[in-house]
Chain A
């Protein structure tokens, strides 16, 4: 048995720490009206775990890894697709257009493979 190290670990930590500051800075001032949409939008952003699930399933071998990986892809897809669509629906209300028309045929990119 030999313990291996991750060569990139310091770079990852650097990115992590910087991202903490960016995350704090970026929402430092937000009206309470937007608390819910912002929460929902950031909920959608972490749905990008789908990328991770795809990588994991991609070279999964053996039933356990394949089953877990497939389940992970399914859950992550729900997160990213549902998250952006539900946020878009909330924000439809903020258009402030005088027309009551249900014009918004918004079709947010749903992250499904082309």
Chain B
């Protein structure tokens, strides 16, 4: 080893490794944008994260002796927290059902936001207490000796406030999003009297407190900002309808990225700034792509209190009386067996019933009889864009049988049967025909153009968007009530014996 090599301080090596890890994250995101490189991209990201975390143990904050800091205890707590976190996260992520993926992502995102908020607030405690502190040595150098309680510059407080505010909104917002997707609470938009007034009051209070904190650098005020931000996250998400929650999670994911970047500013950590900003910037773009896949604008999703109109007009008494044609599995099996072209339109119901394998059996049975079968996948079928493709791929459905909505729609008019399995909103013609409908403008799969429409549904209950579907009452529609998997099994038997 040359003397020159020895003279490079460890901190510089750490920063160099961080830089490589940041590059790794960029490659990871790049990889995730195409199907071939996606899995490798994710592994590259995981590897970069692991290296960065390992390297962090060499940082002076974890080793240098500072008054009042018990490094031994802190390190033990750190490792215990990491082990416990890993012991919870791995089984949770491994065992979660494919259908529950979206809410899992919501949780992992929320805790990340919470962590960023905690980093910012803890660092603020240190900055204002002036002792110990992870103020970089570079900063300490500029402080006159004897200054024990320096007041951070306004922009330093601003960085802390951004981290606390956005991180907390992301935390509580994700928690509500989780509750909605897990159906712990209604998926319908929640509206209450004086909603706008309450929002305005909370918003103004936060603005006022932020300014006050900037001026005073007061810790108690910052804590109040934290609490109000948590409230803001809740009232921000409550009025958003269940069907829009995935777009919301993407937005909150982007928020967490920004909170992480803000923490990076506070800590003077380039890796956090780069990784957080990457996620923040790409997350906003991804959110816009997702909402445009649903044919809606982002402000429309966030602020329209989606579906609130419907609670007023969706007279269930009126609908219950309307005639609905329901058929037997045998009849429908015959219809399918002697069709030329059958289009399967899967929805979340299929996923919930774990019926993707049975759907493939039915498709196989039909294909064997010479029926042309393909799946028409709505971009937001399931609960998130791409969710349905994942579920069907899990069931080994041949790739060439999967058609994206745009590819499938021109063929719908020539289909003999559109078999709608557990979908509802994604085939609701109201999106085209009823300008007042909350889903108006959302692109749909044109099931109504097929000669026959079969709905496999558990009940007449409306879909996730909470609105009624005219197609259910259409004369060419036949309902087969029951669990999607049971119904499909009966259909497979009926087709085999037809």
Name A's B-contacting residues (CB within 8 A): 1-9, 12, 15-16, 19-24, 26-62, 64-66, 68-96, 100, 106, 108-114
Contacts and interface: CB of A to CB of B under 8 A. Distances in A.
B343 to A, nearest CB: 19
A18 B33 CA distance: 20
Q: How large, as a class, is the contact surface on chain B?
A: 35 or more
B125 A64 contact: yes
Nearest to A13: B265
B134 A59 contact: yes
Contacts of A31: 34-35
Contact of A60 (B41, B69, B281): B69
B273 A15 contact: yes
12 contacts: A4-B135, A19-B273, A23-B29, A44-B42, A45-B279, A58-B78, A61-B132, A66-B73, A79-B111, A79-B112, A81-B86, A86-B104
A109 B45 CA distance: 9
B423 interface: no
Interface stretch (B202-210, B248-256, B470-478): B248-256
B384 A36 contact: yes
Interface string B56-89: 1101011110111111011101111111111011
Contact of B61 (A49, A59, A93, A113): A59
B122 interface: yes
A6 B150 CA distance: 13
A81 to B, nearest CB: 4
Given A59-B61, A68-B121, A84-B45, A39 B286 contact: yes
Contact of B257 (A42, A59, A112): A42
B122 A65 contact: yes
Given A36-B387, A48-B272, A109-B46, A24 B39 contact: no
Contacts of B105: 36, 39-40, 43, 83, 86
A46 B253 CA distance: 9
A87 B272 CA distance: 21
Contacts, number: 447
Given A46-B256, A48-B275, A75-B115, A41 B93 contact: no
Contacts of B285: 23-24, 27-28
A60 B283 contact: no
A47 B272 contact: no
Contact of B143 (A2, A22, A28, A81): A2
Contacts of A15: 270, 273-274, 277
A106 B66 CA distance: 42
Interface string B97-127: 0100110110111011011101101110110
A2 B150 contact: yes
A72 B122 contact: yes
Contact of B281 (A2, A24, A65, A111): A24
B309 to A, nearest CB: 28
Contacts of B10: none
B289 interface: yes
Given A16-B277, A33-B386, A86-B93, A51 B82 contact: no
B268 interface: yes
Contact of B25 (A28, A45, A77): A45
B274 A19 contact: yes
Q: Which residue, of B38, B84, B256, B384, has the highest number of chain A Cβ atoms within 10 A? A: B38
Contacts of B156: 4, 6
Nearest to B258: A46
A79 B89 CA distance: 8
A91 B133 contact: no
A55 B33 contact: no
A60 B89 CA distance: 25
A89 B399 CA distance: 19
Contacts of B249: 39
A85 B32 contact: no
Contacts of B135: 4
B58 to A, nearest CB: 11
A51 B154 CA distance: 25
A109 B150 contact: no
A20 B264 CA distance: 14
A9 to B, nearest CB: 7
Kindly list the 5 A-B residue pairs having the minimum CB-CB distance in the complex, ordered from nearest.
A77-B85, A23-B281, A82-B89, A35-B385, A79-B112
